[in-house]
Every structure is written in C-alpha cells, then in structure tokens.
Amino acid sequence: MTAKAIERLDGIGPLAERYRVFLLDQFGVLHDGQAPYPGAVEALSALKRAGKTVVLISNSGKRAKPNEDRLLKLGFAAGSWDHFVSSGEVAWRSFNDMAASGKLSPGTKCLLISRDGDRTAIEGLPFMLTEAGDDAELVLISASEGDRYDLDHYRRLLAPAAARKVPCFCTNPDRIMLTAVGPRFGAGEIADLYEDLGGGVTRIGKPYPAIFEAALALAGKPDRGSVVCVGDSVEHDIAGGNVAGIATALVLSGILAETPDLAAVFDEQQAWPDYITGSFSFR
C-alpha cells in the first residue's frame, strides 16, 4: 500500500453525506474511559437520526453488554447505535463454540489477565480459574492494569506458562490504553511480553479481519464502498479498515492527540486514512 491524499475535516458531518454504514471505535473516539468527548453524545445520536447504520467495534476484552452498559452510564443515548462488537464478544463466542464441539475440555484451567477482577470475559464458559502460570492450561489476556502494575509483574506471572508453551489468547490487542493517570501499556503489550517469554499468542480484535467481518455481517453485509471506519489508532482502526477494503477516518482526540508527525506514524504502520478530523463531532 502506498501513501494517498488525505482529506482534513472539521467533524464527521461530511462523512454522513457520503457513507451509509459507520464502524465506530469507542475509546479515544466517543470517550476517554471517564467521560464522553465534547460533542460525541450528540454526534452519535445525529448519525442515527440521519438513518445511518452504526456498529460500535471495540478492542475491549469485555463482552458487548458490559461495554454498552458503560456507554449508557456515560450519557450516550439508548438506541444511538445498532450493534456492538467487541473482541471479547468475538472470543467468547469462539470459546463457546469450541466447548459445544468438544474442542475445549470442561474444567480447563484458565489464567485470566483482566482489570479490577473482572470475570465477565469467561462467564458461562467451562473454565476453571487459576491465579498461577505454573498450572494454567490456557492464558486469556483481556485487559491491562498498566496503571497499577509494571511489566515485571506480568513477566513473573506469565513466565511459567510461556515456558510450557501454554496457548494464549489476547482479546485486546491495543498496546496503549488511556487511563485516569495518562497513557499506559495495554493488553497488547502484555501479549508481546508473552511472546518474548517464548509463548505463542492468538490475537482477536482490530486490525485482524475476524472482528471486521463480524461487524459487517451484523450491518447486513453492505457494499464496502458505503462503509467508513472511524477510530483513533492507525495500528488498529486504520490498518484494519485498509485491509477490510473500507474507507477510514482518523480522529485525533485519543492516543495520537499530541503526535507532532502523523505522516511518520502512517509510514511506520504502512496504513493511511482517507480522512482526518480533530474530533467526533457532527459538524
């Protein structure tokens, strides 16, 4: 892929005139984990009033419902999106299918790396939780507590499992996450660590095709020329949209907000957006 002309926008209004289906990231686009960005609540509702199909597509290791519940608590209007696809939901359904077919044994010992003790990523699955890498039979990295622990904490926890080549799944490939104390390393960085320790990792989420295919299927398998993916990450949203063959818009309210040289980021990732906008607002 080569560099292309990028159109600068003041908001998403022009996109609503050109596209019928919107695949929207949440963190860094709609909110920062603590509060909505200015204009985001109104913009999301405006897309639905304009008759657009809105699918929220997120590298969250949690399932869809907890994510949707949080959006409602943050003040986003019920009914302002049609579907929510999280990497955690895609993974849960895959594990559930494996259990139903017998490929996943009941009582499989799972070392779950999550946030704030959250267990929703495995509720209803035939896993037995373990807190040690020594006896784990599967490792699931669904979130990071990089604002609480350093990487050495995860190195000590994961090294025994990696040494035994225990299968690892990462349901949040983001390497950077936004927290109340600023950007910290995300679950994707922990997955990289697991590989450095000698283990293998299956990543589920953006930019990998499965989550885009799931989102487009829920949207009714639209013509890809009618779809735009809006996100704040070149590595995940823009690169994933490029591979999926859909238009992309980079929002500068998230992890790239203070980046002085965007062109260098595009060249490094070999991914280029069609549009850049400062915020997810309906202008």
Q: Give pLDDT tens digits for 69-118.
A: 999 999 999 999 999 999 999 999 999 999 999 999 999 999 999 998 88
pLDDT grade for 172, boundaries at 50, 70 and 90 = very high
Question: In sequence order, what E strands does 20-162 have?
Answer: 21-24, 53-58, 83-86, 108-113, 127-130, 138-141
Residue 183's pLDDT is what? 86
- Of all residues in the chain, what percent carry a pLDDT higher than 70? 99
- b/e map 21-45, b = 16+ CB within 10 Å: bbbbbbbbbbbbeeebbebbbebbb
User: Which tens digits make up the pLDDT trace of 176-194?
Assistant: 888 888 889 999 999 999 9
SS3 128: strand
User: Which tens digits make up the pLDDT trace of 152-165?
Assistant: 999 999 999 999 99
Averaged pLDDT of the chain: 94
Spell out the CATH class of 105-203: alpha beta
What is the model's pTM? 0.88
Residue 258's pLDDT is what? 81
CA angle 196, 172, 150 (to 5 degrees): 55
pLDDT grade for 252, boundaries at 50, 70 and 90 = very high
Any bridge partners for residue 83, and if so which? 55
User: Which tens digits make up the pLDDT trace of 34-78?
Assistant: 999 999 999 999 999 999 999 999 999 999 999 999 999 999 999
Residue 3's pLDDT is what? 65
pLDDT grade for 260, boundaries at 50, 70 and 90 = confident
Residue 179 CB contacts under 8 Å (≥ 6 apart), including other chains: 33, 146, 147
For residue 218, pLDDT beyond 90 = yes
SS3 207: coil
Lookup result for tokens 């487009």: 216
Tell me if domain 7-88+206-277 and domain 105-203 are identical in fold.
Answer: yes
For residue 251, pLDDT beyond 60 = yes
Residue type, 60: S
Domains of the chain by residue range? 7-88+206-277, 105-203
CA 177 – CA 185 distance, rounded (Å): 6
Residue 1's pLDDT is what? 55
Residue 283's pLDDT is what? 85
Q: Which of 126, 206, 132, 146 is nearest to 173 (CA)?
A: 206
SS3 56: strand
Residue 177's pLDDT is what? 86
CATH number of the structural domain 7-88+206-277: 3.40.50.1000
What distances in angstroms separate CA 150 from CA 24, 95, 107, 219, one per listed residue? 30, 29, 30, 39
CA 18 – CA 52 distance, rounded (Å): 11
For residue 15, pLDDT beyond 60 = yes
What distances in angstroms separate CA 137 from CA 35, 113, 132, one per listed residue? 38, 14, 10
Average pLDDT on 4-26 reads: 95
Classify residue 102 as exposed, middle or buried by CB count within 10 Å of its CB (0-12, 13-18, 19+).
exposed
